[in-house]
């Protein structure tokens, strides 16, 4: 699943092609995504001039001015590409946002777990976004916040930082990698982390996400940037998907367990 760095990479790829452009029309070939694509989407969005392309957690937000906002989630296998209008479509190319520039933004999603929705209100009021915690790269997410929100919790710290009510957008890959950087065992009970260790984890999350964005995210299965180029952060993985391989720092075999039905990777020597 594309995580925050992949979504931010997509946002940065879309921004120069969308901002200032008018939406001529939206072609919907398949409405049966995670949630049905609104039936009046083309009527609602056509003619809108795009003001900005923003991101909240793993959601992309296209500001269409007074008309409203497009909300996009890439789901498990979603991709957005900027292409000439004349580009033929394939089986899994479900939606085209056709622009006045002669280009289009094509939403492709083989598994159809993604979403493209419309809202007249600011997205912060939408049911999918209104309960989200602070962004991991924002100042509001700090050691004091993480420490306060984990008091009394017996859940594993890895699951806590993947909880969007605590911090928005930290997915499985980057939770694994950040916990390694912070030298914290992912199974540690969240409520047992001291303020000092919370500070180390906040710093590790920020550094991990920043490095991943700089590398264009991770390309493991379906993710590619808007220009078709892959991300390269997978080349920097310290623990994720490295079960049985030696730790790059101490040589101990990387271990894998299941937490919350998600694969979890860590070094038993480096992470305590």
Which residues are designated catalytic?
A: 2-3, 58, 262
Q: Which two tokens stand for residue 220?
A: 């493991």
DSSP code at position 246: B
Query: For residue 36, what are the CA distances in angstroms to 33, 107, 126?
Result: 6, 14, 16
User: 29 and 98 in contact (C-beta within 8 Å)?
Assistant: no
User: 95 and 106 in contact (C-beta within 8 Å)?
Assistant: yes
Side-chain half-sphere of 68: how many Cα atoms within 13 Å? 16
Largest Cα–Cα separation, the chain: 59
For residue 185, the tally of other CB atoms under 10 A from its CB is 17
Own/partner contacts of 89-97, CB < 8 Å, gap of 24 or more, are 89/29, 93/29, 94/28, 94/29, 94/30, 94/33, 94/37, 95/26, 95/27, 95/28, 95/29, 95/30, 95/37, 96/26, 96/27, 97/23, 97/26, 97/45, 97/70
Q: Is 48 exposed, middle or buried (0-12, 13-18, 19+ CB in 10 A)?
A: buried
Cα–Cα distance for residue pair 12/32, rounded to 1 Å: 27
């Amino acid at each position: 699943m594309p995580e925050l760095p992949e979504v931010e990479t997509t946002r940065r790829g879309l921004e120069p092609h969308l901002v200032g452009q008018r939406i001529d029309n939206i072609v919907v070939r398949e409405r049966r995504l995670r949630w049905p694509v609104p039936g009046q989407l083309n009527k609602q969005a056509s003619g809108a001039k795009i003001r900005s392309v923003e991101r909240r957690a793993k959601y992309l937000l296209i500001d269409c001015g007074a008309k409203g906002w497009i909300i996009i989630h890439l789901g498990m296998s979603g991709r957005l590409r900027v292409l000439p209008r004349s580009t033929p479509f394939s089986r899994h190319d479900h939606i085209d946002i056709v622009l006045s520039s002669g280009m289009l933004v094509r939403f492709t999603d083989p598994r159809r777990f993604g979403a493209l929705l419309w809202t007249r209100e600011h997205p912060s009021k939408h049911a999918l976004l209104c309960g989200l915690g602070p962004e991991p790269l924002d100042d509001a997410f700090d050691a004091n916040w993480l420490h306060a929100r984990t008091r009394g919790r017996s859940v594993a710290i890895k699951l806590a930082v993947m909880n969007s009510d605590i911090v928005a957008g930290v997915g499985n890959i980057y939770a694994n990698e950040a916990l390694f950087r912070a030298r914290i065992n992912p199974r540690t009970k969240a409520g047992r982390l001291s303020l000092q260790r919370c500070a180390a984890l906040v710093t590790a999350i920020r550094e991990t996400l920043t490095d991943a964005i700089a590398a264009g995210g991770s390309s493991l299965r379906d993710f590619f940037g808007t220009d078709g180029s892959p991300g390269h952060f997978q080349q920097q993985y310290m623990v994720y998907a490295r079960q049985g391989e030696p730790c790059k720092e101490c040589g101990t075999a990387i271990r894998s367990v299941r937490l919350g039905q998600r694969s979890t990777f860590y070094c038993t020597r480096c992470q305590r």
